[in-house]
């Protein structure tokens, strides 16, 4: 899949540093970089105190890289964005989820000085799904169609709903021209009363080794439409991040997401 702004391979590979390198996503990202002829893995680092073959400290990694990729935690992402902004680079891809509004604001401030792509999910397929959901929500209005978002992940995931589920909710809300925070229903228990028209509901499953399942259901009295995505291997997130790394390598400062990478209209 060609992403917006994709060009021929550069004369020299784009130099990539991977944060959280000792974790599962860090390892998958390193493998994806090694497999991409347009990219060169120049550094791997983790949080202070984590040791491993070939790991360097963060300062050394930033010195070597054109783009840094990190899938660790919101606070680590904020600190990394601030460090990159202070230096004027390298550019940055952030894949953590569970950011607070304050942390998002801090990253946006750093993005005034360095290009940052932040996404709750780097899967190219799931990000295409978000585009479909937004368009469907524009047409299938709240007078007839209720929206429910369901997601399932492995037992180790610490935030809920997932960042990708919230992004799908935001896409549906954009399609309907509403604020997600005002219509989101993240849990139901007990005597809840009848559903309010226009609500966007969320349900969550955690268990086993589920990589990632997301579905958006548009339910009317006489028909049900379900748009879904199923992740089979974490490598797909790393491949999407590799595509985003190629895209951001020559971008000016800004706070970007996968809609920018894929060339989706923001109308």
Catalytic residue among 15, 153, 214, 229: 153
What is the β-pairing status of strands 200-206 and 224-231?
A: unpaired
Length of the chain: 267
Q: Is 157 in the active site?
A: yes
For 2, 69, 111, 112, 248, the CA distances from 252, given in Å and listed in that order, are 21, 17, 9, 9, 8
- Determine contact, residues 29/241, Cβ cutoff 8 Å: yes
Q: Is 214 in the active site?
A: no
In 177-215, alpha helices (H): 180-183
Catalytic residue among 112, 156, 157, 255: 157
Q: For residues 67 and 247, give the distance between their C-alpha atoms in angstroms, rounded to a whole number.
A: 10
- Determine contact, residues 117/92, Cβ cutoff 8 Å: yes
Active site residues: 153, 157
């Amino acid at each position: 899949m060609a992403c917006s702004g994709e060009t021929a391979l550069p004369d020299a590979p784009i130099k990539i540093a991977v944060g959280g390198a000792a974790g599962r996503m860090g390892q998958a990202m390193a493998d994806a970089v090694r497999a991409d002829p347009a990219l060169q893995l120049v550094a791997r680092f983790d949080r202070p105190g984590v040791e491993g073959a070939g790991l360097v400290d963060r300062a050394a990694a930033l010195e070597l890289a054109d783009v840094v990729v990190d899938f660790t935690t919101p606070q680590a992402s904020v600190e990394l964005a601030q460090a990159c902004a202070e230096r004027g680079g390298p550019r940055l891809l952030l894949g953590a989820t569970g950011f607070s509004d304050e942390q998002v604001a801090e990253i946006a401030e750093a993005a005034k000085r360095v290009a940052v792509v932040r996404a709750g999910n780097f899967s190219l397929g799931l990000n295409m799904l978000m585009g479909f959901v937004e368009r469907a929500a524009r047409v299938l209005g709240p007078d007839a169609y209720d929206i429910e978002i369901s997601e399932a992940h492995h037992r180790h995931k610490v935030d809920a709903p997932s960042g990708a589920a919230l992004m799908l909710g935001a896409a549906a809300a954009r399609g309907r021209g509403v604020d997600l925070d005002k219509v989101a229903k993240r849990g139901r228990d007990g005597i809840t009363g009848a559903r309010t028209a226009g609500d966007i509901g969320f349900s969550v499953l955690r268990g086993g080794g589920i990589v990632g399942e997301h579905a958006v259901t548009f339910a009317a009295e006489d028909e049900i439409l379900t748009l879904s995505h199923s992740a089979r291997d974490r490598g797909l997130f790393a491949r999407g991040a590799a595509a985003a790394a190629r895209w951001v390598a020559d971008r000016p400062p800004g706070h970007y997401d996968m809609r920018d990478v894929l060339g989706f209209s923001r109308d």
